[in-house]
Structure 1
Amino acid sequence: MNIKWKTIAPLAIWLAIYLIPVPAGLNANQWHYFAVFAAVITGLILESMPVGAVGLIGLTFAGVMGYVEHDPNKSLRWMLSGFSESTVWLIVGAFVFAIGYRKSGLGRRIALLLVRGLGRRTIGLGYAVMLSDLVLAPATPSNTARSGGTVYPIVSNIPRIYGSEPGPTAGKIGTYVMWTAFATTAVTSSLFLTSLAPNAAALGIAKKIVGVDVGWSQWFIGFAPLGIPLLVLVPLLSYLICRPEVKESPEIVVWSADELKAMGPLSRNEWIMAALVLLAMFLWITGSNPNISLPGLGSNFINATMVVFVVISLMLLAGVIDFADIVAEKAAWEVFFYFTSLLTLSSGLNEIGFIKWIADEFAEPLRGMSPTTGMILLVALFFWIHYFFSSITSHAAAVLPVVLAVGSSIPGMPMATLTLLCVYSLGLMGVISPYATGPAPMYFGSGYIGKRDFWKFGLIFGLIFFVGLLAIVMPWLQLIG
């Protein structure tokens, strides 16, 4: 058996951190747990082995060592806690939706329609993908449901039309289309108060701590000077960074029109799938949106993940998919183990107090700084510390109170501006890693974006989004008061 350096590297990272003297303010248990987390992230970046295996091994080691819970029974319950997280099952459900789109033929039909209308130039497809997310964003508070459950199953059919499959031919057009879809949902998640569930939760935290309260229109006006240009630029930036091999394809437009004719009218399963998709979208928009109330049902009458289970059950009953199709969906189950492990491990960092220690250590020296310098550094802390999180909600709950508390202790700090910069970054930060937000594992597991490319693209777009936040949104918020 040949042992590669990529396999040894995560172990070397773990051992190096383990042997470093424990920093002041932490105990050995917290520091050694961080060593495990760092080793897992290294394994994911280097692709030491399948990502699901990397996460599962790290989670098992942390559980056996009792880093989060010393009692073996409690430690096992902690290990298994991520498997019951609603976001994880929403992601798996989105993969099943993709099966329905694919097997019924509806996904191919919609993809062909997009290609016929905008497929002459590759960048036109990028703008079609962007617009599809933008239209859904204001009324869909789950970006996993919006991008993972609705946009992904459709756009995943587009590359195959161009002969671009996961793997060696992904770069023809697949990488570009998939990354554009993923980067777009990061922007739309920040553009509207109602396009990402943690947005409202973060504002609730801010209102309690510093008394800052923001309405829907105020939210939009504050972020629009950055959000709208970013939506225009994301397909173009993706085009420049992903460098699709197929630039123009006039003949594909003619071909797609012929293929649509050959498909004929909508089949029974396509009609059923279309109806179920509309049902899912209706329930996602109305059922889990606190701002929409239906007669006799009120608001928040069904969870976004419950919608997925309902629709999958109806797909099975109608024969659109078979249960064997779900079992055979390898990508869904790899993502299931990988994201569940990362979700649990990152929550463990918060539970043992490691995140609070980092936030406190970074924030304490800022108390004597000028308001502008302090604000920039606090927003930087809030944004980039997300590498330690796989849940935007838990990030907001753990770090936002610390940042706001430190900010309020700096004389002259404009707390409304600081608050908005932090909450606006919640959607944008979702682009930085393969586990940063709900839809990320789907695009990461699609096979169209190389694993190292995902980290590289995430860093590039993260830097662009972060600089835009400080260079455009910060002075705009100070100008409008």
Structure 2
Amino acid sequence: MKAVPWRVVLPVLVTIIIALIPTPEDLAPHAWYYFAIFVGVIVGLILEPLPAAAIGLIGVVLIGVLGLAFSPEQRADPGFDLPGETIRWMLSGFSNTTVWLIFAAFMFAMGYEKTGLGRRVALHLVQRLGKRTLGLGYAITLSDLILAPFTPSNTARSGGTIFPIIRNIPGLYGSEPGPTARKIGAYIMWTALAATCVTSSMFLTALAPNLLAIELVNKTVNLQITWTQWFVGFLPVGVILLAALPYLVYKLYPPEIKGSSEVPEWARQEIAQMGRLSRQEIVMALLALVALVLWILGRDFIDATTVALGVICLMLILNVVKWSDVLANGPAWNVLVWFATLVTLAGGLNRVGFIVWFSDRAAGFLEGLPVTLVMISLVALFFFIHYFFASITAQTTAVLPVMLAVGAAVPGMPVTMLALLLCYSLGIMGIITPYATGPSPIYYGSGFIDRRAFWLLGLVFGVIFLAVLLVVGLPYLSILY
């Protein structure tokens, strides 16, 4: 009889142990059991005894079957349609716009690959910057920085625009998902993800939840934050992080290929062999340009996901890709299911009241501490609580007002500084997990960065990002305010 792998046993064991612990005071039992299953799912995602999407699906179905997404009072209400509400909750993640924008990014990448446009653009980048791998890292970072102020969706910016292009670069160096990923592909992918997390914090308009955050700040503590105020306040932190980032990744997660003087010449020859742009490449380029323009300029009248799905339809109509290609794109469908279930699970934590309870209890431990230490603690708590969320928007809605209210109640608290530090953490917290922000599942799903490396790098870079924000940002903001 074959032994059950420990990777299967441990998530189940963690769930059972937490569930057997007496329910904490002021928390409903169903919320505690929900949390136990949620932690088990997170452990499962870290260990991956099954594919991530399967683990997420199992977690959602288990909670649905046990009825833990709703309170006993709700379930006891004669007018409450428990079966109907349960299945609607279980499938709610599939109506999330970011989930479909992530899926669309995979379709865009496929379009670049099928037409050859991605390879052509990648070859041009390699021709100009391929002598050194570090140069490619800075080129990718600069590309995101240029787009960031005008693209309020980092999924559209990084996942839909940058990823489809850079996905073609590793293959030029013989680096593909699997044993050869560390040649150069893993470095490029992690640099791109880390860069978009920093730029998402640097500009008010670089991340949709930033705009939501300033509305909540205004309503909670009656403080208005302007675009310029946001940018100036984060400027030294952003400059330091962006300037150091490609080199930092180069040292902490080094590529095997440091550079090659022959590769740029080879790239030039390959471009010559490809000849002039084909009709399909031109069509794909125009569709990508339409998407980018609408993402930048059309946010007031058309949703970013609507743009992406519309472009996919045009790709099918214009025969850039075939429907069979869409159906055969396993990684895209896998990420769709995975992220949809995680959005559902993370949203449920707030639904059952766990997040508010946790925030209140954590705030209670801060009473009597020095004001600066309270501020640092609140920002750090807000940052790392993101391990429980698959949506920055959800965390902003559920937790930001709580943290602001707790901090504002502390005598002598510089509320403007606290509000800005909490808001600035929204972008950079996207680095910590494979589901922390929209582009994360895209880069994780590319297969270049393995599970263990992704979680470890997320923790390391998360600590670095937060440390720079507090060590540099806090003294700088204290001078401004």
Indicate yes or no: 2:74 matched with 1:63: no
Structure 2 unaligned runs (5+)? 76-81
- The within-5 A match list for 1:4-403 is 4-69=5-70, 70=75, 71-288=82-299, 300-403=300-403
On the 8 A contact 1:369/1:410 being kept in 2, the answer is no
Runs of at least 5 residues in structure 1 that lack an aligned partner in the other structure: 289-299
Paired residues of 1:55 and 1:341 also in contact (CA < 8 A): yes
How far is the alpha carbon of 1:72 from its aligned partner?
2.2
Distance in 1 (CA, whole Å) between partners of 2:459 and 2:292 is 31
> Aligned letter for 2:116?
G
> For residues 8 and 170 of structure 2, what CA distance do their matches in structure 1 show?
32
So what's the TM-score if we normalise by structure 2? 0.97
CA displacement 1:326-352 (0-9 Å, x = unmatched): 111111111111111111000000110
- Amino acid aligned to 1:275: L
Extract structure 1 runs of 4+ deviating beyond 3 A.
Answer: none
> Matched residues in 2 for 1:230 and 1:388: separation?
25
Query: Is structure 2 residue 456 aligned with structure 1 residue 456?
Result: yes
C-alpha deviation, 1:214, in angstroms: 1.3
CA distance in 1, matches of 2:60, 2:470: 36
Q: What is the rounded CA distance, in whole Å, between the counterparts of 1:364 and 1:41 in structure 2?
A: 26
- 1:2 CA drift (Å): 4.8
Structure 1: distance between partners of 2:377 and 2:26: 21
SS at match of 2:363: helix
Deviation of 1:370 after TM superposition, in Å, equals 2.0
The letter for the 2-side match of 1:467 is A
Paired position in structure 2 for 1:297: none
Show the counterpart of 1:476.
476
- CA displacement, residues 345-364 of structure 1 (integer Å, 9 cap, x when unaligned): 00000110000111000002
Please state how far the C-alpha of 1:367 moved relative to its aligned partner: 3.4
Aligned to 1:417: 417
Structure 2: distance between partners of 1:400 and 1:215 = 18
| Whole-angstrom distance in 2 between the partners of 1:405 and 1:446 | 40
Indicate the residue corresponding to 1:3 in structure 2: 4
Tell me the alpha carbon deviations over residues 73-130 of structure 1, each in whole angstroms, 9 at most, x when there is no partner.
2111100111111110000001000010000100000000000000011111101111
Letter in 2 for 1:351: R
Give the drift of 1:369. Answer: 2.3
Instruction: Provide the rounded CA distance (Å) in 2 between the counterparts of 1:242 and 1:372.
Output: 34
How far apart, in 2, do the equivalents of 1:401 and 1:84 lie? 25
Amino acid at match of 2:310: V
Secondary structure, counterpart of 2:367 in structure 1: helix
Question: Partners in 2 of 1:62 and 1:88 — Cα distance?
Answer: 21
- Structure 2 letter corresponding to 1:15: I
Q: Distance in 1 between matches of 2:334 and 2:253?
A: 25
- Aligned letter for 2:320? V
Q: What SS does structure 1 have at the residue aligned with 2:396?
A: helix
Q: Distance in 2 between matches of 1:47 and 1:120?
A: 37
Q: What is the identity percentage for the equivalent residue pairs of Structure 1 and Structure 2?
A: 54
Paired residues of 1:392 and 1:426 also in contact (CA < 8 A): yes
Relative to the length of structure 1, the TM-score reads 0.97
What is the distance in 2 between the residues matched to 1:366 and 1:241? 34
Give 1:294's aligned residue.
Answer: none
1:444 equivalent in structure 2: 444
- Which residue identity does 1:35 align to in structure 2? A
CA RMSD of aligned residues (A): 0.9
CA distance in 2, matches of 1:27, 1:205: 27
Give the whole-Å Cα distance in 1 for the aligned partners of 2:358 and 2:47.
25
